[in-house]
Amino acid sequence: KRLILIGPPGSGKGTQSPLIKDEYCLCHLATGDMLRAAVAAKTPLGVKAKEAMDKGELVSDDLVVGIIDEAMKKPSCQKGFILDGFPRTVVQAQKLDEMLEKKGTKVDKVLNFAIDDAILEERITGRWIHPSSGRSYHTKFAPPKVPGVDDVTGEPLIQRKDDTAEVLKSRLEAFHRQTEPVIDYYSKKGMVANLHAEKPPKEVTAEVQKALS
Ligand code: AP5
Ligand code: ZN
């Protein structure tokens, strides 16, 4: 399947992605994860993206479209994919349509992680991630077996630099202003499945499975 995951920061996109990937054998492309890796490695791309990311603003459309275009060439992404955090502007959505049209394919479904803003601060400020895999934990909702340590690799967990209450405000503003129109864009095409993203993770997984069956 070819899927898009849209939702505000902390709505659970990264949490549900591995489960969808395992079940439907897709490739998981998370622009945020790819950008953070570029920032950590101080690549030219990372240097360009860092300032906007630290402020909770979107990086330029050209930059992320380039990343996705390149990543979709991977053999593992030919039969299906999950786009997590992309497209985030209407321009990005149009570019994606063009990209897929050239390959003679299209997106099957857009999963909308609908949730009230008020819930997100606690999710964001309690999150710990394993940077190299993108796995995320939460001190209260999804604690690792050993505090501060990744369950799978035993490596240390870190907090994202943009996971503060302060930066969250800008990220939410960017979401409402630039990304909500993307949901309308796909709604008009009848492609959107709305999820109750405020529910516990297992219940959200069940809704995802229902939407994809
Ligand atoms: P990105 O990394 O995409 O961040 P985001 O969209 O803000 O989303 P998050 O990763 O914060 O949330 P999530 O939905 O994955 O939540 P998670 O599952 O981890 O982007 C970062 C930055 O990169 C952007 O600000 C921008 O600068 C740039 N960028 C990226 N893509 C771009 C693009 N296309 N264009 C331009 N710029 C771009 O869950 C959060 C926490 O809650 C976790 O601790 C988790 O354990 C917990 N949790 C999850 N589900 C539940 C549940 N159901 N109940 C209770 N707790 C839960
Ligand atoms: Zn994420």
Long-range contacts from 92-101, C-beta under 8 angstroms, 24+ separation? 92/61, 92/64, 92/65, 92/182, 93/182, 93/185, 93/186, 95/61, 95/65, 96/65, 96/68, 99/65, 99/68, 99/69, 99/72, 100/2
Averaged pLDDT for residues 8-37: 92
- Out of 5, 20, 31, give the residue to mutate to test ligand 1, the one with the largest number of ligand atoms within 8 Å of its CB: 31
pLDDT digits (tens, 9 = 90+) for 34-67: 999 999 999 999 999 999 999 999 999 999 999 9
Nearest residue (by CA) to ligand 1, atom 40, is 10
Sequence-distant (≥ 6) Cβ neighbours of residue 17 within 8 angstroms: 5, 28, 30, 82, 84
**Ligand 1 atom with least separation from CA of 57:** 27
Q: What is the pLDDT of residue 24?
A: 82
Q: pLDDT confidence of 189, banded at 50, 70, 90?
A: very high
The answer to whether residue 161 scores a pLDDT higher than 80 is: yes
Q: What is the pLDDT of residue 136?
A: 93
Q: Examine the residue annotation and report whether 2 is marked as an active-site residue of this protein.
A: no
Q: Examine the residue annotation and report whether 103 is marked as an active-site residue of this protein.
A: no
pLDDT digits (tens, 9 = 90+) for 81-138: 999 999 999 999 999 999 999 999 999 999 999 999 999 999 999 999 999 888 999 9
- Out of 33, 45, 59, 129, give the residue to mutate to test ligand 1, the one with the largest number of ligand atoms within 8 Å of its CB: 59
pLDDT digits (tens, 9 = 90+) for 196-206: 999 999 999 99
Averaged pLDDT for residues 68-82: 93
Q: What is the pLDDT of residue 22?
A: 86
The answer to whether residue 25 scores a pLDDT higher than 80 is: no
Q: What is the pLDDT of residue 23?
A: 85
ipTM: 0.98
Mean of the per-residue pLDDT values of the chain: 96
Which is the catalytic residue, given 36, 88, 95, 135? 88
Ligand positioned closest to the Cα atom of 88: 1
